[in-house]
Amino acid sequence: MCNNLKHPHWGASKNGHHRFLPPDFSDGVSAPRRAASGRELPSARKVSATVHNDHGFHDHAVTVLLVAWGQFIDHDITLTAETRDPRTRKTPKCCEGNAHPNCLPIEIPHGDPFFAKHEQRCMNFVRSPAGLRYNCRLGTRDSFNEISSPIDAGTVYSNDEETLKTLRSFKGGRLKMLPVFEDFGMKDLLPLKLEDPDEGCIRPSEDVYCFLAGDLRVNEQTVLAVVHTLFVREHNRMADALAKVNPHWNDETLFQVPKYNHFVTKSRELNDIALSKAIHLSRSFILGDEAHHGCGKATHYV
């Protein structure tokens, strides 16, 4: 997609991520970072469990929607490419002896406050594949973005034309929905992901399916799926309303007008609100006041 006529590649998919800070690879190119002394860094899980203890504190200033909305926006602008096993085309299972070069399994220490209950000592972790650097310049390893980075409602309509076709009903400009509770007077849900159902979905059995949406991460958590559902319902509401006042419009027009409205409205609102007030609120509520005021200060692990 072109978001800037003077710089048509800005924000395009398949481009490398830009960095706020220079990389700190141990070999200067690609090898995982080490401590200043040359030792391996401690287990990421140990650091997380030590720094972010679960005290069961309930913050009444914000709701879980803050997290889901943040995810929804993040998923509209970034999708870092994932490593796939060339044999299975699935994420490598690094804790099961997979020797894939991008495997970096995380050791879970003894006495972990959560995983010790389940006798789990390893957390699967796979590096993202390396991508082309800006203007194909040589240099350090960079990951790349599989979707376009402007806020363009890609979470609703996808950035892939073939995926978009699977989302459309091609009737009245509507997106597909699942009217499973229609007989109870309840609204429709997102359609089911029947093709490649295990991708991005943890299924308890083969007769259970996850949802299909413009972004494959829709099923990461329930409230995120709710946000996706609201946007698809809103598209169909607009399509139905437009069809009543414009009975001569065909399916394509009835589809494109709500899509354009979603794109313009979402972009304008988020650029005015999410990128200013929401960032300030996120720093205060998510990181805490101390981290907010001390942002930018960092120390080296030795």
Q: In this structure, is residue 167 part of a structural domain?
A: yes
Asked if residue 130 is part of any domain, the answer here is yes
Please tell me the predicted confidence (pLDDT) of residue 302. Answer: 38
Most confidently predicted of 68-72, 151-155, 173-177, 179-183:
173-177
> Does residue 29 sit within a domain?
no
Within a domain: residue 56?
Answer: yes
Q: Mean pLDDT across the stretch 159-171?
A: 95
pLDDT at 299 over 50: no
Q: Quote the distance between the C-alpha of residue 186 and its chain's center.
A: 28
Q: What average pLDDT is seen over the chain?
A: 85
Counting the structural domains of the chain, the total is: 2
Indicate the residue among 116, 147, 178 that finishes a domain. Answer: 147
- Average of pLDDT values for 243-263? 92
Report yes or no: 206 and 265 within 8 Å, Cβ to Cβ.
no
The tokens 């860094």 sit on which residue? 41
The DSSP code for 285 is I
164 and 182 in a single domain? The answer is yes
Do 89 and 63 share a domain, yes or no? Answer: yes
Same domain as 226, residue 143: no
In a domain? residue 2: no
Amino acid letter for position 292: H
Q: Would you place residue 158 in the very low, low, confident or very high pLDDT band (cuts 50, 70, 90)?
A: very high
139 and 168: one domain?
no
Residue 138 sits in the same domain as residue 162: no
Residues 97 and 172 in one domain: no
Contact 180, 262 (CB under 8 A): no
Task: Look at residues 147, 177, 204 and tell me which one is the last residue of a structural domain.
Answer: 147
pLDDT band at 1 (very low <50, low <70, confident <90, very high): low
For residues 43 and 50, the answer to whether their CB atoms sit within 8 Å is: no
Buried (b) or exposed (e) across 127-155, using 16+ Cβ within 10 A? bbebbeeeeeeeeebbbbbbbbbbbbbbb
Residue 100 domain boundaries? 44-147
Is residue 179 assigned to a domain? yes
Query: Are both 137 and 164 inside the same structural domain?
Result: no
Are the C-beta atoms of residues 78 and 145 closer than 8 Å to each other? yes
pTM recorded for the entire structure: 0.83
Same domain, 159 and 138: no
pLDDT digits (tens, 9 = 90+) for 184-241: 999 999 999 998 888 888 888 889 999 999 999 999 999 999 999 999 999 999 999 9
**Burial bucket for residue 66 (CB in 10 Å: 0-12, 13-18, 19+):** middle
Quick one: tokens of 172? Answer: 């009245």
| Range among 38-42, 269-273, 287-291 rated most confident | 38-42
49 and 108 belong to one structural domain: yes
pLDDT of residue 238: 94
How many Cβ atoms sit within 10 Å of the Cβ of residue 204? 6
Shared-domain flag, residues 66 and 182 = no
What pLDDT does residue 146 have?
92
- Domain stops at, among 93, 128, 147: 147
257 with 213, same domain? yes
Domain annotation covers residue 66:
yes
d(CA 130, CA 188): 40
Query: Known catalytic residues?
Result: 75
- The confidence score (pLDDT) of residue 173 equals 97
Q: Could you read off the pLDDT of 215-225 as tens digits, one per residue?
A: 999 999 999 99
**Same domain, yes or no, for 103 and 174?**
no
Flag whether 27 is in a domain.
no
Q: Supply the angle between the helices 222-245 and 65-77 in degrees, to the nearest 10.
A: 70
pLDDT above 70 coverage of the chain, percent: 85
